[in-house]
């Protein structure tokens, strides 16, 4: 009888602890999917699998580069550092947590550079074959925000995140279909080159 009571009490404590943790954070989950991109899934994956080179084609980043020996087979690095264009800019570090050439997908967690009210952030990219010459990319974004900040900032942060991801999706489509960067990225590159001189 005492053993059953102790087990029940233990289960109750674990359940309550989980509920308390859930209430501590506001969780945002969004799935955003590109329009149909007129290239094969293999061609689209060839661009996206180079996780460390995303800044070559999107204006949402000034620069990106890989660091660390790849921990996952097929990956080009273990983490990437990105110089962003959000707000005053800044650096963020993202650790690759999943990578599959076979399934044409990758996932990463933000490990450094997030605002203090964001306690966790991850993104999962998956290439979807539409036909032999058409594909899409799906991005699943998850963010955990501190309860107080999440209450006040959740909508604003979600709106900003969706805006940035949609820019990435649009610019990826342009780059994949034409081999050229978007007009916004071209202007960004020109501005950076002028700053170097």
Q: For the CA atoms of the chain, what is the radius of gyration?
A: 20
Q: What is the pLDDT of residue 11?
A: 47
Please provide the distance, in angstroms rounded to a whole number, between the alpha carbons at the two ends of the chain. Answer: 80
Q: What is the pLDDT of residue 88?
A: 59
Q: Which CATH architecture best describes the domain 32-195? A: 2-Layer Sandwich (3.30)
Task: In whole angstroms, give the CA distance from residue 85 to residue 89.
Answer: 5
Q: What is the pLDDT of residue 152?
A: 83
Task: In whole angstroms, give the CA distance from residue 17 to residue 12.
Answer: 8
Locate 113 and state its tokens. 């550079």
Give the pTM: 0.84
- Residue (of 104, 59, 111, 101) closest to 80 by Cα position: 111
Task: In whole angstroms, give the CA distance from residue 81 to residue 56.
Answer: 13
Distances (CA, A) of 194 to 102, 187, 189, 197: 41, 11, 9, 5
**What is the per-residue pLDDT across 151-177, written as a single tens digit (0 to 9) for each?**
888 888 899 999 999 999 999 999 999
Tell me which residues of the chain have a pLDDT lower than 70: 1-24, 87-89, 196-197
């Amino acid at each position: 009888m005492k053993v059953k009571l102790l087990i029940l009490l233990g289960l109750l404590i674990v359940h309550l602890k989980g509920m308390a943790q859930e209430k501590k954070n506001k969780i945002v989950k969004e799935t955003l999917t590109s329009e149909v991109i007129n290239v094969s899934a293999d061609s689209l994956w060839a661009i996206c699998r180079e996780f460390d080179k995303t800044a070559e084609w999107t204006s949402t980043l000034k620069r990106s580069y890989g660091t660390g020996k790849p921990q996952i087979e097929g990956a080009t690095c273990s983490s990437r550092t990105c110089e962003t264009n959000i707000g005053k800019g800044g650096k963020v570090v993202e650790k690759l947590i999943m990578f599959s050439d076979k399934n044409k997908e990758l996932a990463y967690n933000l490990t450094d550079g997030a605002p203090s009210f964001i306690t966790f952030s991850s993104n999962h990219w998956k290439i979807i074959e539409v036909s032999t010459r058409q594909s899409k990319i799906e991005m699943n974004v998850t963010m955990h925000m501190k309860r107080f900040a999440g209450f006040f900032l959740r909508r604003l942060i979600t709106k900003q995140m969706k805006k940035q991801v949609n820019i990435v999706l649009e610019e990826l489509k342009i780059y994949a279909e034409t081999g050229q960067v978007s007009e916004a990225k071209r202007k960004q590159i020109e501005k950076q080159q002028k700053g170097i001189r």
